[in-house]
Amino acid sequence: MRPEILVPAKKCSLGCPVLDQYLAGGVPCGSITELSGESGSGKTQIALQLLLSAQLPLSLGGLASSSLYLHSEPPYPFRRFEQLSKAFYLSYPQLFDSVQCVRNNVLVQELDSADHLFDVVFKLDSALAKESRKTMPIKVLVIDSIAALFRSEFDNNPFDLKRRANLFFKISSTLKFVAKKYGVAVLVTNQVVDVMRSGDLNGLRIGNYDSLYSSGRRVCPALGISWANCVNSRLFLSMNEEVVGNVAGEGDDNTLCRRTKEGNACCFCTTFA
């Protein structure tokens, strides 16, 4: 029996050289990558950059493809996307006819519930089969965010937790199937929750949680172990407050105000089989 030859997965650039180097090229195709972090840490920014980078040729770190953006936290970041798409076009004017062409290659679908996400994911196979015959097929799928759909709809009781876990497994198994079949890079953003006690989370260890801190708080990705078993790779964004100086307060010479600067850093990446 001949041994199976492992072919390195194609990767799509995140539009940030530092993160691309950290990830050895970008987000891999054929699997699910989770990006977690607290509000304001830059998850949506990175997701939008990935959606745009997908349009670049392979030689420039892209996939020569269009992308699909499923967003669940209104409002849709229209202004930020407009700014990023314009900057993206100005960086590669020789590749696109206009800024509008760049924007048209990003398809957008709003999600209003976990069941709606399941319906959309269930139809992906047939939709991607049609897209595969186009010049710019969909090769990047972003769900922003998974936690917003599940944290608000399910209560903390055995029945709801079981139903939620079943939805996790159905959605993730379908995403993995279409990702591998069509060579799609799937990026899912997730929120974080505070860890209230030391030691392993609920007696279970998922990755290096002891090192996850953001804004001075110990945190971990939301949705628990059921969702943790559904992704292939996990990325974590931390947000740190840095004091850059003191300025005198207005109207009171004796008052000093701290001026701070927020900084983002990718702390760790864990890959599961």
The low-confidence residues of the chain, meaning pLDDT below 50, are 199-204, 250-251, 255-257, 259-263, 265-267, 273
The residues that bridge with 68 in the sheet, in sequence order, are 107, 141
C-beta atoms surrounding 106 within 10 Å? 20
Q: Are 39 and 191 a contacting pair, CB within 8 Å?
A: yes
Burial of 40 (0-12, 13-18, 19+ CB in 10 A): middle
Q: Please work out, in degrees rounded to the nearest 5, the angle formed at the alpha carbon of residue 186 by the alpha carbons of 83 and 116.
A: 90
Domains, the chain, in order of start with CATH, read 11-196+208-241+260-272 (3.40.50.300)
Q: What pTM was computed for the model?
A: 0.85
- pLDDT digit string, tens, across residues 84-116: 999 999 999 999 999 999 999 999 999 999 999
Q: Are 271 and 232 a contacting pair, CB within 8 Å?
A: yes
Per-residue pLDDT, 272:
53
Q: Which candidate, 57, 238, 64, places its Cα nearest to that of 139?
A: 64
Cis peptide before 57 (omega within 30 of 0): no
Residues in contact with 26: Cβ distance below 8 Å, sequence separation at least 6, in sequence order: 11, 12, 13, 14, 19, 20, 50, 53, 61, 185
Per-residue pLDDT, 1:
58
| 3-state secondary structure (DSSP) of residue 151 | coil
Q: Which candidate, 67, 96, 94, 80, places its Cα nearest to that of 40?
A: 80
- pLDDT digit string, tens, across residues 187-222: 999 998 888 765 444 444 555 556 677 777 888 888
How many residues comprise the chain? 273
Q: Please work out, in degrees rounded to the nearest 5, the angle formed at the alpha carbon of residue 191 by the alpha carbons of 46 and 150.
A: 120
Per-residue pLDDT, 31:
94
* 70: Cα separation from own chain's centroid: 11
